[in-house]
Structure formats: C-alpha cells, structure tokens
Amino acid sequence: MQTVPWKCLTYYSRYTWWVQTGKLFTVLLAVLMVCRCTTLQAEEESTVPQIAFINSQIESVWADAGVEPVERATDLEWCRRVYLDLIGRIPTVDEVLRYKNDHSRDKQSVLVDRLLSDEYVREYAKHWSNVWTTVLIGRDTNNRMIDRSGMRKYLQTAWESNVPYDQFVEELLTATGDNADRSEAVEFNGATNFLSGKLGDGALQATAKTAQIFLGLQVQCTQCHNHPFNSGVKQNQFWELNAFFRQTRALRRFDGGRRVAWVELVDEDFAGQGGDPNEAEIFYELRNGLIKVAYPVFIDGTEISKSGLLPGSLGDGTPYGVHRRRELASLIRSDPLFPKALVNRIWAYFLGYGFTRPIDDFGGHNPPSPPALLDGLAQRFTEYSYDLKSLMRWIVLSKPYGLSSRMTPGSEKDAPDSGEPPYFSRFYIRQMEPEQLYDSLMVATKTNRVEDIERQDRWLSQFVMAFGTDEGDSSTTFNGTIPQILMLFNGDLVQEATSLDRDGFLDQVMVANHKNQDKINALYVASLSRWPSSIELRYANQLLLARQGRVKEALQDIWWALLNSNEFILNH
Amino acid sequence: MNGRKCRGPACSESSRRHFLSHLGGLAALSTPFASFANSLLANAEGLKKRQKSAILLWMGGGPSTMDIWDLKPGQATGGPFKQISTSVDGIAISEHMPMTARQMHHLAIVRSMSTREADHQRGRYYMHTGFVPNPNVEHPGYGSLIAHELADTIESLEIPPFISVGGGSVAPGFLGTTWAPFVVSPQGNVKNLESLVPQERLANRLQMLGAIENRFIGEKRGQLPKDHREIIGKSVQLMTSSQLAAFNVSEEPTSVRERYGETNFGRGCLMARRLVEVGVPFVEVNLGGWDNHSNIFSTLADQKLPDLDRAMSALIEDLADRGVLDNTAVIWMGEFGRTPTINGNGGRDHWARSWSAVVGGAGFSRGAVIGETSLDGREVISEPYSSQDLMASVLKSLDIPLDTTFRSKNGRPMKIANGGQVIPGLCS
C-alpha cells in the first residue's frame, strides 16, 4: 500500500466531481470515452493462431445460433476477472492502477504474461493447487487416509514448476511413498494422496475417479451393470480398468495411538483372486448372479500382461511381471479423451460452462457442443506438450473470455442456465469459489494471512456437508445461501477486515489520504476495482453524516458494505 | 444457540420494533430495503395458526429396508433379524424397531418401491426430485418444492422455509437459490447471527449496501445479483427473529431429549418438531451411515436401528400428542434399498429394484401396508411404485394440487412430481 500512487486517486476524485457538477462536462467526457473505447476495441484479430482459432470457432457458433455477442468488458472488469481466474484473487489497488495506467495496445497480453510469470508463481500455484485439491480429493476433510496438506504441498510444487499435464497425471497415477510430510515418514510423496483414500472396497473409487477426472468417463454405475445410457461403457470394462489398481496398497501407519498417522502407498505383487500370480485375475458378479473374470484391459481394448507380479528378472535374465499402474498411466496419456477431458475442464473453469454438461461425462449420449472447438483445442494443447499455461493464455486472451457480463436484448437467447447449450456470447457471471473469496478478502484487507492454509480449511469446512455414503461425497452450502451471507455480515474474517486497529487496512487508508473522497475511492478500488458512482458517493456522504464526522467509523461502514456486495462476491 | 435464550440484535419484541423503525425510516430514503423492512413490520404481529408441513427423514447411503420394514424370516436372503408385531394387527417389522412398532398405527409402509437408480448421487437426486439427473436442467427437491408451494400460506415465518439438519440435501434447481436448504448442525448452531455493530449502525450499513447492490443489478447482469439482494433480506430477517429459539433443542427438558436420544439424529428430530411448530413448512433430517457393504447386521442392530427407532418413535408420538401430526407429513426413505443377497463381507450392496419407504401424518392412511415383495425380497410382486408416485402421494397428503406445472426458464413445461400418480390406498 505504501507505493500506491495516491495522486491518481485524487485525480479521479476531481474527475468524479466534474461529472457530478457539470452536465456539459459529463456529455463531453462521455463522448471522449466512447471514442477512446472504440479505438481500443477496433483491434485486429489476434496474431496468435490458437487464439484466432478460438475466436473464429466461437464466431461461427454465434452466427449459427443467431446470437449477437455483447460488447467487451471494460478494462478494469477484465483486469479483475483475469486476476481472479489465473491467480485466485482480486487485484490490489497497486495492480489496478498499474493496469489502468498502461496505455499500450498489448496491455492485456502483457498482464496475462506477467500473471503467468515467476513474479506471481507462488500465488498462481497456490490457486491451482486449491482447484486441483478439490478435483482430486474433494472438500471432505474427514478421510483419515488422505493428508490434505501433503496433497497441497505436492500440487504447489508441481504447479510452481509448471509440470506438463501428462507428466502431472502420470505422477498422480503412479505415486508411491508416504502421503504426509512428517519426520517419521521418510519417503514423502504428496501425490500419493490422490489414490491413498480411494483403494478401499477393491479400489472402486480409484477406478471411478481416474476415469472421471482424466478421461471424462462416468463408469461408477458400470460396477454393477452395463451403463444405462452410455452404450460405450460396459460392466466388464469397469472391472478390467479396476484390475490395474490391484497391485497397489495403502498401508496405514500409526504413531502409538489408534488413529492413522499417515498412509504409505506401495506396489506389491498381486496373486490374483484365483491364486495364480501369472494369471492374476479378479472376479466380479453380473446382475443375474453369474461370476465373471477380469484382467487388466484398457477401455480402448488394449490388453497388458495378465501377470500380477511386479517387474523383475529370473536368474537367467528372463524378465517377468508388469507394473500395472505404470501401464495404465501411459495408456491414459495416449488416449484421445485425455487432452479433451482437461481442455473441457479448463474451458469450463474460465468460461463458466464446458463443452459438455457435466464436464466429466463424455459419450454418445452427451455430445459436445461445439465439437470442433473442443477437438481443435485438445489437439493444440497436445502439440504444445500439454503446457497448461499456454492453454490458459489462449483462453483468457480469446474474444469470448473478454466479453462483458451484461445482458443485452440480442444475447438473451444465450441462456445456458435454462438448459440451452451455451453460446459464450457474454461472460457468464458466477459465484467466486470459496477459496477465491477467502484470498480476495485477505488481499483486499492486506491481512497477511494468505499462507495460513489450515485456517482457510477450517473456514471452508463450515460450508461442507457430507452425505453419509461410503464414497465420502459432499456438497457445499457456500453458493449464495444465507450462511454465506451471515458469514460475510458478521463472521470473524470480515470483523478483522473491517477493524480499525493501528496499521490495519482502514488505518492505512486514513493515513495515506487527506480528503474523504480519496479515502472512499481507495476502498472502492481495493474491493471492486472501480471508482464509486455519484449516487454511491451520496450514500457514502450520508454515512459520514450519520457517524457525525467520525470518519474512521464511516469508512468502516462503507468497507463493510463493499465486502458484502454482490459485485464483490461475484466473478463478473 | 447453545443454551442462550437470545441471540441477534433484536431480542425482545420492543427492541426488534426499534430496530425495524430505523431500518424502515432510512430505507425509505432510497428504497433498497424498504419493501423488505415493511414486510418485516407487517409480520411482527405474532404467529398465526397455520397449515401443512413435512418432515423428511433422509437415510443417506441406502438403508436395508428388508431388515427394517419388510423382513423375510427363514429365507436365505433374510438375514438374522426376527419380526415383531406392532400396534397394528397383521403388520410386523424388525425386532430392532420396538418403539416405532408401537407407533405403527400412525404410519404406512410402502413395500413396493421399485426404482432404477442404484448410484448414490443419482439415487439421491432421483428420490429427492422425481426426475433422473439431466445435464440440461436441475430439478428442485422435496424441500425446495414444498417450501415453494406452501410459502404463500405462511405469513408469519421469519426463518427459512426449508431447513436441512445435518446434511446437504439437493439443490433448489430451477426454483433458484432463494429456495436452497438452510443447513444447520444437529446442535442447532446457526453461525454468525450476531451483528458486529448496533442495530442503528447496521441499518446505515444496509442502506449503503443497498446502493451498491442496486447499481450492480441495474447493469442487467442476470439473476445472481438479484438473488443475492433477496437473500440479504432473508438473512437480516433471520438475524432479528425470535423464532430462532426453535433451533435451540437444549431448551427442552432432559427427559424429552433423552426420549429422542442424545444423538445427532435424535436432536435433529426434536428440532424438526420444534421447527414445524413455529411454522416451517419443510424440514429434512439426515441420518447417514446406511451404506453397509460389510458387517451389516451388527451395524444395524448395535448402532443404526436403535438410534433410528428412538428418535423416529419419539417424533411421531410427540407430533400426534400435540395435534400436529394431522397437518404434518413424515417421510422416511433413502436413495435405494440393499441387495437381498448377502455378500462375502457380511454386507449388502446397492439395490433399487425392490425396497420400502415409510410415510405418516397429514393426509396419509394410518396403520397401512401397501404392496408386497416376493418371498426372497428380490421382486415387487404387486404394482411397483416409483419416486414420482411417492412424491405425488406426499404432495396430495399436503393438499398441494397435482396439476401444478412449472415453466423452466426456457419455457419448457414441467409437471410437478414428474407426472407421478398417487399410490392407491396410501392417502386417506
């Protein structure tokens, strides 16, 4: 905050004063601004071929559907959005002003490159580690076979070094070692947490989640019978996929008591349920009670050795055995669904809807829309060696991501929330993820607690509701419900954020700005990345009156209102 | 609530009126919250006698109904449990449900549920909504639907119309966030109710907030910003409501709490009774842990059934004694049943083809059994009933018209309860 060019805020306060007092000025300014906006908007097509590809595909979607895209988001709206989506928090006052004062033509790509550079790599990795923790192990914190901080530690490192996605998935699928980083656990490997909690009951969860997350296939129903509507998935395929996990065991380690202290994931020879390790089969039951046999066969029909023994060699050097999980990882990496599942997930993350609904249910029963864009992006992502940052860069610099979230009559036909396919003709407004809100509150209030991940987890856990099944599934009550409102109204985080302590955020705003209006401007920029409207200023002045000149208290009230507003909590 | 008599900025009725006068007066300057404040003032008149409610006892994980409501003694599939007689001649249920057996004359068992969703997530969705999951539309579940249908008849309710105790339920679907379940812990703790500042200042703050909210809504950014403003109104209403006391089960005498059982489910059932009594139209109480793939019989006999029996019987008995049962539908079910075949781990797996649900109160028949399964429990041998049919019957028991049709946002008509038919004999 010390480096904020407060003069700039002062400039804006004068600017707003003009707007308030001089109608003529208002008109003139409006004209000027329109001219300026149109020059900015009249930019030529992107020279990056992947971005140009997205744009042309989406333009034909618009043309086919007969929808008119809305205008582009304002500079500052886009800036807030891209901070939230790439590094998981809103921009600080410094960052807003820096972007605002950049007048170069390529300011958008400059900002994206900066957010993807070393400058922000810790925050970038922390954000994506939050996202992937939820994808890989959910939000339920009660599973003793999973160590959340171990999972996070691994993800943080992986995303800091921008591990290519195919390698990332291989590491998750083949991990061995201890799942928690503690002194007694010598072989720490946080990647083990993806599987450590999913191997119970014959690794049913490992099978279902691996297919769902990395291939976009819902196979959990096929455990008991052929898929009811996806004719592509049969019951035998579930068990043949399941067979790949049968050399893997999660060993519970105790530190004296009866509670599991950590879990060690190991590979062991699998003797097979029939007792012959060279033909290590598993049995499963058909609906009619018949028992069938399954060996590891990938969903595309590729068979691997039936041996349950880990690789080794006999005295004469003859090799034997197979490492089933490694085979699985390499089969998944080369499957055509593999890049598509990721592209669909990342696109849905940035644009609000994927190419299929839900994003992890591919198959003839659920065709993607538009298919060419999904296929084309998946192909380009593969060509770029599964580089996640490149994929994100293409998406956030594309036309659909840059559109406003305001509806216009021409875009009303684009209504994915009522079941129509999304046409991406505007930016779909949405709730921040709880982690984004948490970090944004931290940043907006300069509460330097961003690193306290356990506090974040405790805070989040109040919104998580378990369903009481063996699968440990849960839902969150975070999404715009009364408990969320009450938390922001009265909870301890907001109490801290609005405190008047010395050197706290509000205190700094008081000290750094002379005029009341500058102080109010600072609050608006810090929370909403914009300046207040004249009507809002009038309300703020009423608050100053109500507090009878106790400016600090009035600021506290305004700050509370800003942090509780729809505009703050929604990603728009 | 934790034993404190009073929470929130408005404890007594007079201080509440005081607060509302601030809010009303200031809001009139701008009107962001004026209509909301006016409705608060109007509603402060005190409780009125009221209408129907429903309580859903949701058994997460899929309970083995053939070990509870539809036993098959002597069959290979039957398991070790014995039957006992109940307060209704000719109806026998599990020996581990003795107290509920004495309340059987208030209840009706549907032994002919036959569904097709045997995956937890899909089953939960289907049994809550009457629809199978569909990628293009989210349907509202029982709680959102019934709260929505009955809300107009409740003028005096200040707390949310759909309370879910100790679980997640399902989303409100196309009815929108305002009909989402309000989830509370079985202890009745509603977090963050106490305002950080005195009432007058809170009113000032809300006025400022209203200006920001309205500006953003005015920019035509769709439904979410509007929903947010509406839920702010409901949250403020909740913070200032004396009805919050209904959550506070610790107000009940020890003897009553013990009758329900000092378990999460027991407290949840007791809270459901208290909530229904203040006018909440829908309460869902969750009891998980029925996904018994192994050691099912000891788990049921030692843990699940004693807890269920105690709480459920106390709830039914109390509702009846207090004259509330005639206006309150009680529904007991999970997402599906469990396999008649006992697996190698002494457990039962997921099974949707033949299972039981139980209802009672409101317009339901009393002391009845509907339908029949085969000797080994594998087939329904009478007319089979679906989630839609059960839902239609529940709606009928609450006098909610079955010709209600919703229009999803894109204009597609959707029949209430997915066009299910009332189960013959289930409603009186």
* Residue A488 Cα to chain centre, angstroms: 22
β-bridge mates for residue B164, sequence order:
B183, B284
C-alpha closest to that of B60 among B128, B112, B1: B128
Residue with tokens 């629809």: B131
B112 and B137 together in one domain? yes
Task: Identify the sign of the CA torsion B209, B210, B213, B215.
Answer: negative
In contact, B122 and B355? CB cutoff 8 Å? no
- Does B42 fall in a domain? yes
CA angle B389, B160, B271 (to 5 degrees): 80
Question: How many percent of chain B have pLDDT more than 90?
Answer: 65
Is residue A340 classed exposed, middle or buried when 0-12, 13-18 and 19+ CB atoms within 10 A define those classes? buried
**Which of B179, B212, B247 is the endpoint of a domain?**
B247
B281 min Cα distance to partner chain A (Å)? 17
A48: which 2 tokens?
A: 């990056």
Confidence band, pLDDT 50/70/90 cuts, at residue A484: confident
In contact, A553 and A559? CB cutoff 8 Å? no
In contact, A469 and A142? CB cutoff 8 Å? no
pLDDT at B9: 38
pTM for this structure? Answer: 0.81
- Does B204 fall in a domain? yes
Quote the number of domains for chain B.
Answer: 2
Average the pLDDT over B293-306 and give the result.
95
B157 and B72 together in one domain? yes
Residue of B nearest to A412 (CA): B222
Residue B223 in 3-state DSSP?
A: helix
Is residue B405 classed exposed, middle or buried when 0-12, 13-18 and 19+ CB atoms within 10 A define those classes? exposed
Q: Could you report how far apart the first and last alpha carbons of chain A are, in Å? A: 25
Residues of B in contact with A547 (CB under 8 A): 204
B31 and B78 together in one domain? no
Q: How many residues does this entry show for chain A?
A: 572
* Residue B270 Cα to chain centre, angstroms: 13
Q: Extract the runs of DSSP E, i.e. beta strands, from A139-279.
A: 177-178, 248-254, 260-267
A360: which 2 tokens?
A: 């992890």
Instruction: Give tens-digit pLDDT for B150-167.
Output: 887 776 788 889 999 987
Q: Is B227 in Cβ contact with A357 (below 8 Å)?
A: no
- Does B427 fall in a domain? no
Q: Extract the runs of DSSP E, i.e. beta strands, from A110-183.
A: 177-178
pLDDT at A441: 86
Is the confidence at residue B34, as pLDDT, over 90? no
B117 and B207 together in one domain? no
Q: Is A480 in Cβ contact with B228 (below 8 Å)?
A: yes
B82: which 2 tokens?
A: 């014995």
B298 and B168 together in one domain? yes
Please spell the DSSP secondary structure of A210-223, one letter per residue. Answer: HHHHHH----GGGG
B41 and B61 together in one domain? no
Rounded Cα distance between B244 and B159, Å, is 7
Name which of A95-104, A502-511, B13-22 the model is least confident about. B13-22
**Which of B212, B229, B247 is the endpoint of a domain?**
B247
Is the confidence at residue A143, as pLDDT, over 70? yes
In contact, A394 and A54? CB cutoff 8 Å? yes
C-alpha closest to that of A424 among A482, A460, A478, A377: A377
Nearest CB among A417, A468, A481 relative to B60 is that of A468
B257 and B401 together in one domain? yes
Q: Is A418 in Cβ contact with B408 (below 8 Å)?
A: yes
- Does B195 fall in a domain? no
CA dihedral B207→B211→B217→B223, nearest 10 degrees, is -20
Residue B346 in 3-state DSSP?
A: coil
Q: Is A467 in Cβ contact with B124 (below 8 Å)?
A: yes
Confidence band, pLDDT 50/70/90 cuts, at residue A162: very high
Residue A349 or residue B23, greater confidence? A349
Q: Is A268 left (phi over 0), alpha (psi -120 to 50) or beta?
A: beta
Which long-range contacts link A235-238 to residues 24+ away (Cβ below 8 Å)?
A235/A284, A235/A286, A236/A292, A236/A294, A237/A297, A237/A299, A238/A207, A238/A284
Range of the domain at B214: 10-46+200-247
B300 min Cα distance to partner chain A (Å)? 15
Cis peptide preceding A400, ω within 30 of 0: no
If you average pLDDT over every residue of chain A, what do you get? 86
Query: CATH no. for residue B269?
Result: 3.40.720
Q: Is B195 in Cβ contact with A490 (below 8 Å)?
A: yes
Q: Is A570 in Cβ contact with B183 (below 8 Å)?
A: no
Nearest CB among B177, B201, B349 relative to A481 is that of B177
B184 min Cα distance to partner chain A (Å)? 9
- Does B5 fall in a domain? no
In contact, B27 and B208? CB cutoff 8 Å? no
Maximum distance among all Cα pairs of chain A, rounded to whole angstroms: 95
B152 and B174 together in one domain? yes
Residue B159 in 3-state DSSP?
A: coil
B172 min Cα distance to partner chain A (Å)? 11
Residue B294 in 3-state DSSP?
A: coil
Q: Please, which residues 4-33 of chain A have a Cβ atom closer than 8 Å to chain B?
A: none
Rounded Cα distance between A40 and A105, Å, is 8
CA dihedral B10→B12→B14→B20, nearest 10 degrees, is 20
- Does B234 fall in a domain? yes
Q: Is A549 left (phi over 0), alpha (psi -120 to 50) or beta?
A: left
Is the confidence at residue A22, as pLDDT, over 60? no
Query: Residue A384: phi, psi to the nearest 5?
Result: -90, 30
Task: Give the containing element (helix H, strand E) for A208.
Answer: helix A200-215
Query: What residues contact residue A23 under an 8 Å CB cut-off, 6+ apart?
Result: none
Task: Give the containing element (helix H, strand E) for B409.
Answer: none
In contact, A476 and A484? CB cutoff 8 Å? no
B100 min Cα distance to partner chain A (Å)? 23
Rounded Cα distance between B333 and B287, Å, is 10
Residue A171 or residue B168, greater confidence? A171
- Does B316 fall in a domain? yes
- Does B426 fall in a domain? no
Instruction: Give tens-digit pLDDT for A392-414.
Output: 999 999 999 999 999 998 788 88
Is the confidence at residue B262, as pLDDT, over 90? yes
Is residue A132 classed exposed, middle or buried when 0-12, 13-18 and 19+ CB atoms within 10 A define those classes? buried
pLDDT at A476: 65
Residue with tokens 């329900």: B260
B254 and B238 together in one domain? no
In contact, B252 and B269? CB cutoff 8 Å? no
In contact, A388 and A345? CB cutoff 8 Å? no
Instruction: Give tens-digit pLDDT for B352-400.
Output: 999 999 999 999 999 999 999 999 999 999 999 999 999 999 999 999 9
B241 and B379 together in one domain? no
Q: Give the up-direction half-sphere exposure of residue A496: CA atoms within 13 A in the CB hemisphere.
A: 13
Query: What residues contact residue A279 under an 8 Å CB cut-off, 6+ apart?
Result: A272, A295, A306, A307
Rounded Cα distance between A446 and A457, Å, is 19
B249: which 2 tokens?
A: 């089960």
B228 and B99 together in one domain? no
Is the confidence at residue B38, as pLDDT, over 50? no
Nearest CB among A430, A475, A486 relative to B191 is that of A486
Is the confidence at residue B91, as pLDDT, over 50? yes
Residue of A361, A482, A559 to mutate, interface with B, max B Cβ within 10 Å: A482
Q: Is A471 in Cβ contact with B120 (below 8 Å)?
A: yes
B227 and B261 together in one domain? no
In contact, A349 and A218? CB cutoff 8 Å? no
Is the confidence at residue A466, as pLDDT, over 80? no
Q: How many CB atoms lie within 10 A of CB B286?
A: 24
